[in-house]
Amino acid sequence: MRIRQMLLVALVLGCACAFGAGTKELGGKGGTPGAAARKLQTCDFLLNKGFKKNAKYYLCLFSASRCGPCRREMPRIAKTYAESLKNDPNIELIHFSRDQNDEKALAWAKEHNVKFPVVKPTGGNPLDLHTRGIPHLFIVKSDGTLIEEGHPASLFTDEKIRELKAANRGAGGKGKSALAVEKTTDAKLPYEVVDGTVVIGKATGRSGRRGSSKQKYFEVELSSGELVIPDDIDGVPVRSIESGAFSDCKGMVSVTIPSSVTSIGRSAFSFCSGLTNVTMCGERPDAPSGLFLGRGKLKTIRVPTNAKSWAGMKKWQSIPLVFDGESDSLDSAQVSATAEKLKGCDFLLNKRFKKNAKYYLCLFSASWCPPCRAEMPRIAKTYAESLKNDPNIELIHFSRDQNDEKALAWAKEHDVKFPVVKPNGGNPLDLHTRGIPHLFIVDADGKLVEGGHPMRLFTEDKFRELNAGD
Distant-in-sequence, close-in-space partners of 154: CB < 8 Å, separation ≥ 6: 160, 382, 459, 460, 461
Asked, for residue 171, whether it belongs to a domain, the answer is no
Confidence of residue 273 (pLDDT cuts 50, 70, 90): confident
Q: 33-87, pLDDT tens digit by residue?
A: 788 999 999 999 999 888 999 899 999 999 999 988 899 899 999 999 999 899 8
- Whether residues 372 and 461 share a domain: the answer is yes
- Whether residues 77 and 208 share a domain: the answer is no
Tell me what pLDDT residue 368 has: 93
Query: Does position 21 have pLDDT exceeding 70, yes or no?
Result: no
Among residues 156, 173, 203, the one where a domain terminates is 156
Rounded to whole angstroms, the Cα distance separating 186 from 222 reads 5
Asked, for residue 331, whether it belongs to a domain, the answer is no
Q: Sign of dihedral through CA atoms 132, 42, 79, 115?
A: negative
Rounded to whole angstroms, the Cα distance separating 248 from 46 reads 35
Mean pLDDT of 95-100: 94
Tell me what pLDDT residue 222 has: 54
Tell me what pLDDT residue 421 has: 94
- Return the DSSP state at 286: B
Tell me what pLDDT residue 289 has: 76
Tell me what pLDDT residue 8 has: 36
Tell me what pLDDT residue 215 has: 57
Mean pLDDT of 22-30: 32
Tell me what pLDDT residue 352 has: 82
Q: Sign of dihedral through CA atoms 38, 40, 45, 47?
A: negative
Taking each continuous run of H as one helix and of E as one strand, the counts in the chain are 11, 24
Tell me what pLDDT residue 214 has: 53
Query: Does position 388 have pLDDT exceeding 80, yes or no?
Result: yes
Asked, for residue 172, whether it belongs to a domain, the answer is no
Q: Which amino acid is at 188?
A: K
- Residue 318 burial (CB < 10 Å; 0-12/13-18/19+)? middle
Mean pLDDT of 394-421: 93
- Residue 273 burial (CB < 10 Å; 0-12/13-18/19+)? middle
Tell me what pLDDT residue 82 has: 92
- Residue 263 burial (CB < 10 Å; 0-12/13-18/19+)? middle
Q: 321-363, pLDDT tens digit by residue?
A: 888 755 454 444 457 889 889 988 999 988 888 888 899 999 9
Three-class SS of residue 364? strand
- Whether residues 77 and 222 share a domain: the answer is no
Count CB atoms within 10 A of the CB of residue 186.
10
Count CB atoms within 10 A of the CB of residue 283.
15
Half-sphere exposure of 215 (CA within 13 A, CB side): 13
The string of DSSP letters for 126-194 reads TT----SSSSEEEEEETTS-EEEEE-HHHHSSHHHHHHHHHHHHHTTTTT--TT--SS---EEEEEEEE
Three-class SS of residue 361? strand
Tell me what pLDDT residue 360 has: 95
Q: 186-224, pLDDT tens digit by residue?
A: 456 777 888 888 888 754 333 434 334 455 666 655 555
Asked, for residue 284, whether it belongs to a domain, the answer is yes
Question: Is the CB of residue 177 less than 8 Å from the CB of residue 248?
Answer: yes
Tell me what pLDDT residue 93 has: 96
Asked, for residue 128, whether it belongs to a domain, the answer is yes
Closest of 459, 465, 464, 467 to residue 154, by C-alpha: 459
CATH of the domain at 394: 3.40.30.10
Tell me what pLDDT residue 321 has: 86
Which residues constitute the domain of residue 47? 2-156
| Total structural domains within the chain | 3
- Whether residues 10 and 149 share a domain: the answer is yes
Q: Sign of dihedral through CA atoms 286, 292, 293, 298?
A: negative
Question: Is the CB of residue 260 less than 8 Å from the CB of residue 231?
Answer: yes
Q: What is the mean pLDDT of the chain?
A: 80
Asked, for residue 265, whether it belongs to a domain, the answer is yes
Asked, for residue 161, whether it belongs to a domain, the answer is no
List the single range of 28-37, 39-48, 94-103, 113-122 with lowest mean pLDDT.
28-37
Rounded to whole angstroms, the Cα distance separating 94 from 126 reads 12
- Whether residues 312 and 342 share a domain: the answer is no
Strand order in the sheet with 301-303: 226-228, 254-257, 277-280, 301-303, 319-323, 315-316
Whether a cis peptide bond, with omega within 30° of 0, leads into 377 is no
Question: Between β-strands 438-443 and 448-452, what pairing exists: parallel, antiparallel or unpaired?
Answer: antiparallel
Question: Between β-strands 263-264 and 236-241, what pairing exists: parallel, antiparallel or unpaired?
Answer: parallel
Going from the C-alpha of 254 to that of each of 249, 274, 300, the distances in angstroms are: 11, 8, 11
Rounded to whole angstroms, the Cα distance separating 296 from 314 reads 20
List the single range of 123-127, 171-175, 208-212, 372-376 with lowest mean pLDDT.
208-212
Rounded to whole angstroms, the Cα distance separating 266 from 171 reads 10
- Whether residues 457 and 351 share a domain: the answer is yes
Count CB atoms within 10 A of the CB of residue 336.
18
Tell me what pLDDT residue 9 has: 35
- Whether residues 191 and 314 share a domain: the answer is yes
Asked, for residue 7, whether it belongs to a domain, the answer is yes
- Whether residues 350 and 319 share a domain: the answer is no
Confidence of residue 13 (pLDDT cuts 50, 70, 90): very low
Rounded to whole angstroms, the Cα distance separating 299 from 316 reads 11
- Whether residues 342 and 280 share a domain: the answer is no
Strand order in the sheet with 146-150: 45-47, 118-119, 91-97, 57-63, 136-141, 146-150
Question: Is the CB of residue 20 less than 8 Å from the CB of residue 54?
Answer: yes
Among residues 301, 323, 345, the one where a domain terminates is 323
Mean pLDDT of 293-320: 82
Closest of 143, 220, 146, 222 to residue 183, by C-alpha: 222
- Whether residues 211 and 137 share a domain: the answer is no
Terminal-residue alpha carbon distance, the chain: 68
The residues pairing with 150 across neighbouring beta strands, listed in sequence order, are 137
- Whether residues 395 and 444 share a domain: the answer is yes
- Whether residues 302 and 341 share a domain: the answer is no
The string of DSSP letters for 359-426 reads EEEEEEE-TT-HHHHHHHHHHHHHIIIIITT-TTEEEEEEE-SSSHHHHHHHHHHTT--S-EE-TTS-
CATH of the domain at 207: 3.80.10
